[in-house]
Amino acid sequence: MRGMLPPSEARMRMCVMKVGERGRWTYRDWIQWNFLWKFFPWCARNLFYRGSFCIGPGCMHWFWEDADKKERGYCSVAVSRTQHSMWTKELEEREKQAPQQPAAPLAAGKVSKFPSRRP
Protein backbone atom coordinates (compact mmCIF):
# COMPACT_ATOMS: atom_id res chain seq x y z
CA MET A 1 0.00 0.00 0.00
CA ARG A 2 1.22 3.51 -0.80
CA GLY A 3 1.86 5.75 2.17
CA MET A 4 3.35 3.11 4.47
CA LEU A 5 6.22 4.62 6.44
CA PRO A 6 8.63 3.46 9.09
CA PRO A 7 8.15 5.43 12.34
CA SER A 8 11.44 7.31 11.85
CA GLU A 9 10.20 8.78 8.54
CA ALA A 10 6.70 9.42 9.90
CA ARG A 11 8.14 11.65 12.63
CA MET A 12 9.53 13.95 9.93
CA ARG A 13 6.02 14.71 8.64
CA MET A 14 3.48 17.17 9.97
CA CYS A 15 0.65 15.63 11.98
CA VAL A 16 -2.79 16.06 10.43
CA MET A 17 -4.56 16.11 13.79
CA LYS A 18 -1.77 18.05 15.58
CA VAL A 19 -2.18 15.75 18.56
CA GLY A 20 0.83 17.11 20.42
CA GLU A 21 -0.40 20.73 20.28
CA ARG A 22 -3.38 19.94 22.46
CA GLY A 23 -1.40 20.17 25.70
CA ARG A 24 -1.01 23.46 27.53
CA TRP A 25 2.25 25.37 27.74
CA THR A 26 3.49 25.95 31.29
CA TYR A 27 5.32 29.05 32.55
CA ARG A 28 8.51 27.01 32.42
CA ASP A 29 7.91 26.32 28.70
CA TRP A 30 7.39 30.03 27.97
CA ILE A 31 10.53 31.06 29.87
CA GLN A 32 12.58 28.36 28.17
CA TRP A 33 11.24 29.30 24.73
CA ASN A 34 11.89 33.04 25.22
CA PHE A 35 15.47 32.37 26.35
CA LEU A 36 16.12 30.03 23.44
CA TRP A 37 14.53 32.46 20.97
CA LYS A 38 16.88 35.26 22.05
CA PHE A 39 20.10 33.28 21.95
CA PHE A 40 19.45 30.03 20.04
CA PRO A 41 16.56 30.56 17.59
CA TRP A 42 17.25 27.31 15.71
CA CYS A 43 16.63 25.37 18.95
CA ALA A 44 13.56 27.45 19.82
CA ARG A 45 11.83 26.32 16.64
CA ASN A 46 12.11 22.71 17.79
CA LEU A 47 10.34 23.58 21.04
CA PHE A 48 7.69 25.71 19.31
CA TYR A 49 6.81 23.08 16.69
CA ARG A 50 7.13 20.09 19.00
CA GLY A 51 3.45 19.14 18.71
CA SER A 52 3.14 19.69 15.00
CA PHE A 53 4.89 16.52 13.91
CA CYS A 54 3.64 12.95 13.71
CA ILE A 55 4.36 10.89 16.82
CA GLY A 56 3.99 7.66 14.87
CA PRO A 57 3.31 4.55 16.95
CA GLY A 58 2.44 6.64 20.02
CA CYS A 59 -0.69 7.99 18.31
CA MET A 60 -4.12 6.38 18.43
CA HIS A 61 -4.53 6.98 14.67
CA TRP A 62 -1.40 4.99 13.76
CA PHE A 63 -1.88 1.49 12.34
CA TRP A 64 0.79 -1.06 11.47
CA GLU A 65 0.99 -2.85 8.12
CA ASP A 66 1.95 -6.04 10.00
CA ALA A 67 1.27 -5.92 13.74
CA ASP A 68 3.89 -8.60 14.48
CA LYS A 69 6.84 -7.02 12.65
CA LYS A 70 5.95 -3.35 13.30
CA GLU A 71 8.21 -2.13 10.50
CA ARG A 72 5.89 0.14 8.51
CA GLY A 73 2.59 1.80 9.24
CA TYR A 74 0.23 4.59 8.29
CA CYS A 75 -1.89 7.34 9.80
CA SER A 76 -5.57 6.53 9.29
CA VAL A 77 -6.57 10.20 9.54
CA ALA A 78 -4.14 11.29 6.83
CA VAL A 79 -5.37 8.50 4.58
CA SER A 80 -9.05 9.36 5.13
CA ARG A 81 -8.45 13.08 4.51
CA THR A 82 -6.55 12.32 1.33
CA GLN A 83 -9.31 10.00 0.18
CA HIS A 84 -11.95 12.63 0.99
CA SER A 85 -10.14 15.29 -1.04
CA MET A 86 -9.82 12.86 -3.96
CA TRP A 87 -13.57 12.09 -3.85
CA THR A 88 -14.40 15.81 -3.68
CA LYS A 89 -12.23 16.52 -6.71
CA GLU A 90 -13.83 13.63 -8.59
CA LEU A 91 -17.36 14.90 -7.81
CA GLU A 92 -16.46 18.42 -8.95
CA GLU A 93 -15.14 17.03 -12.24
CA ARG A 94 -18.37 15.05 -12.76
CA GLU A 95 -20.48 18.15 -12.13
CA LYS A 96 -18.46 20.13 -14.68
CA GLN A 97 -18.81 17.40 -17.32
CA ALA A 98 -22.54 16.73 -16.83
CA PRO A 99 -24.74 19.49 -18.24
CA GLN A 100 -27.20 21.03 -15.81
CA GLN A 101 -30.76 19.86 -16.46
CA PRO A 102 -33.53 22.41 -16.00
CA ALA A 103 -35.85 21.79 -13.08
CA ALA A 104 -39.21 20.18 -13.84
CA PRO A 105 -42.16 22.60 -13.83
CA LEU A 106 -44.31 22.53 -10.72
CA ALA A 107 -47.66 20.78 -11.02
CA ALA A 108 -50.79 22.80 -10.39
CA GLY A 109 -52.63 22.20 -7.12
CA LYS A 110 -51.63 20.00 -4.20
CA VAL A 111 -49.67 17.03 -5.44
CA SER A 112 -48.21 14.49 -3.06
CA LYS A 113 -45.60 11.95 -3.94
CA PHE A 114 -47.29 9.50 -1.55
CA PRO A 115 -50.61 7.82 -2.41
CA SER A 116 -53.68 8.78 -0.45
CA ARG A 117 -54.70 6.54 2.46
CA ARG A 118 -58.39 6.82 1.64
CA PRO A 119 -59.89 4.02 -0.44
Give domain status of residue 59, yes or no: yes
107 lies in a domain? no
Range of the domain at 56: 7-88
How does pLDDT run across 42-67, given as a tens digit for each residue?
A: 877 777 776 677 777 888 888 888 87
Distances 105 to 20, 98, 102, 109 between C-alpha atoms, Å: 55, 21, 9, 12
In a domain, 110, yes or no: no
User: What Cα–Cα distance (Å) separates residue 87 from each residue in 57, 90, 92?
Assistant: 28, 5, 9
Residue 104, in any domain of the structure: no
* Per-residue model confidence as pLDDT tens digits over 8-44: 887 777 777 776 666 777 888 888 888 988 998 887 7
Residue 27 lies inside a defined structural domain of this protein: yes
Q: Is residue 75 part of a domain?
A: yes
Q: Is residue 116 part of a domain?
A: no
Number of domains, the chain: 1
Phi, psi of 62 (to 5 degrees): -90, 130
